[in-house]
Structure 1
């Protein structure tokens, strides 16, 4: 059902409570008075919602994206952000993956299109194919894709916020489908086939959250602490949960996920563009010998053979 909620406050605690209505578990880390905070959220529920934020003073905010992917567009003032500690280019549309986003800003306007991970997965056929949604880039793939995404996001915001269109269900559905399709194409989202038990819907939710976090951030410098935070468990707790559910450890699952990405990277590159050492480094392998051995065991050829094919 289409919703529209807007608020203005000068109180930091109330502002934090308003943010938490959109992103549970979020918190202001710093906020300088005098302070004016404005928030408006429109959308159709779990699939697509659009949040607009205005903050008049310098502030630092930590936001938890849970089962949601956000695509942000910032304007005015100063705005810097990270997604799971990866710096974002906020001069153009930027993608906020499930996990923790942090921002440092002053006197800015921000629009975030929130996309339900489940809705995106269904849109690209992940559920039907037994695969997992993968977000390849935190920025649009091309300048044309960035421009088109801005057009689609503003169009959707206009449709969802126009009260005269509130009873037009087909228009809302078409707009939602357009937003999902545009996000998939603009940011290169794909379905990754996974043969592990991590695709089993019966798996504990904490392990599913951790596994999805690993898949979404396989190239990032993450470790057991970040995985535990994504699962909302202690380090010991997530280790036990992985052992019980998957008969493996979180760090081994991370290593296997990275190893799955390496062949595509090598196969779509040439020796003039990259080296085996560089690909190993990108996917978190600091020991080239161990990477080559694991790669050969998994794919029955050396990484160099894949690169030179």
Structure 2
């Protein structure tokens, strides 16, 4: 097994870059089909900032081109109307991206290539698609996958509004290895809809939580890493896939769940808590599977690896609050974000449970 190297931490990002793009206000009807090719996505910058892009146009051709570019689709527009304002607000966090899409008219297209996995949550309108003889209809409240590969697909949007989440192959591969190391590699999704309604609601709640985190304007290397892994793990829980199709074997990981494994893992966490380490990183560093690592913490420390990691980071935040000078501009929010605590209310509650006071009181001395 290859030992992981801790990633270099970066300071918190406040808000990220914002790009506003506008297509032409109107175009004359083009008689021929419009083809778009998917853009090759740049690799995520470790801990890189959040980039927000807002695109608006009244041109159906421009809308189709931009959507294909943003979502890794090779589109061929078949029918669409100029006039209504099409829009896409996209928040790119490197390994994952969120979007809010408005297609206020009727848009029909075929797609011959899909290069990015996208989870779509419908909020209004109608989305219909047909592929391999299977017809599907999605309306407000429905959650669905657009999966890489697959067969050519016909799609029709009618006054659609939806939110989207793109997940990188790296995130999904890491989540799959954590879920079941017996099935390494990129998981294959077996269905394009959640297993049941409660799981669809789980996805919606997770997506909303991450969106609120990004919208807060305070993000850091640790916050973005945790958010991406949360989305990928939730996708594997919600949608049937090859990584979670079989349950764990009874003996899986128990042999390596020793006190020595626990000691080595604690030492690694203590030395690298300031970096964006995951469960998979910790397991790789001590040469065991993620499940063996979890067994070691549960059996010998009555906790989990990630719970212990949060405690260590909370202790670092406590030390920074005690040492900080509020008169020089130090804030609870900035220190919490630095140590991976995106939700200020949850951070304050955890801090009070551990230290018996509020973070603000500690900062003020």
Q: Find the counterpart in structure 2 of residue 96 from structure 1.
A: 146
- Secondary structure of the 1:87 match is strand
CA distance in 2, matches of 1:152, 1:64: 30
Report how far residue 186 of structure 1 moved. Answer: 0.8
User: What is the aligned partner in structure 1 of residue 187 from structure 2?
Assistant: 133
Sort the Cα spacing of 1:172 and 1:133 in 2 relative to 1 into closer, same or farther, 3 A: same
Structure 1 regions of 5+ residues with no counterpart?
194-309
Question: Residue 131 of structure 1: CA displacement?
Answer: 4.7
- Normalised to the residue count of structure 1, the TM-score between the two structures is 0.54
Counterparts of 1:65 and 1:184, CA distance in 2: 22
1:62-89 Cα shifts (integer Å, max 9, x gaps): 3466442111111222222346664335
Q: Aligned residue for 2:210?
A: 156
Q: Which residue of 150, 175, 178 maps to 1:123? A: 175
The superposition leaves residues 252-303 of structure 1 with CA deviations (integer Å, 9 ceiling, x where unpaired) of xxxxxxxxxxxxxxxxxxxxxxxxxxxxxxxxxxxxxxxxxxxxxxxxxxxx
Q: Which residue of 1 aligns with 2:89?
A: 40
2:60–2:81 contact (8 Å) kept in structure 1: no
Counterpart residue number, 1:145: 199
SS at match of 1:105: strand
Q: Using the alignment, how far apart are the partners of 2:186 and 2:222 within structure 1? A: 28
CA RMSD of aligned residues (A): 2.7
Pair 1:150–1:133, CA change in 2 (3 A): same
| Aligned mates of 1:159, 1:52 — CA distance in 2 | 16
Q: Offset of 1:55 from its aligned partner?
A: 1.2
**Cα offsets for 1:190-220 (capped at 9, x unmatched):** 3399xxxxxxxxxxxxxxxxxxxxxxxxxxx
Distance 2:73 2:125 in 1: 26
* SS at structure 1 position matched to 2:242: strand
Structure possessing the higher radius of gyration over alpha carbons: 2
Native 8 Å contact 1:68 1:114 kept in 2 = yes
Equivalent of 1:11 in 47, 59, 64: 59
Q: Determine the C-alpha separation between the residues in 1 that align with 2:76 and 2:91.
A: 21
Q: Of the candidates 175, 179, 195, which is equivalent to residue 227 of structure 2? A: 175
Partner of 1:71: 119
> How far 1:185 moved relative to its partner?
0.5
The structure that is helix-richer by fraction is 1
Aligned length: 190
Q: Secondary structure at the match of 2:128?
A: strand
Secondary structure of 1:152's partner? Answer: helix
Name the SS of the counterpart of 1:58 in structure 2: strand
The whole-number CA distance in structure 1 between the counterparts of 2:148 and 2:165 is 13
Deviation string, structure 1 residues 102-121 (Cα, Å, up to 9, x no partner) = 42122220222112233212
SS of the counterpart of 2:198?
helix
Task: Give the Cα–Cα distance (whole angstroms) in 2 for the partners of residues 6 and 64 of structure 1.
Answer: 26
Is the CA contact (8 Å cut-off) linking 2:59 and 2:83 kept in structure 1? no
Q: Relative contact order (C-alpha < 8 Å, sep 6+): which is higher? A: 2
Kindly provide the CA deviation profile for residues 146-168 of structure 1, in whole angstroms up to 9, marking residues without a partner as x: 11111111222232344x22x42
- Cα distance in 1 between the residues matched to 2:186 and 2:108: 32
Task: Measure the CA separation in 2 of the matches of 1:71 and 1:84.
Answer: 20
CA positional deviation for 1:27 = 3.5
TM-score (ref. length: structure 2): 0.47
Structure 2 alignment gaps of length 5 or more: 1-47, 246-365
TM superposition shift of 1:101: 4.6
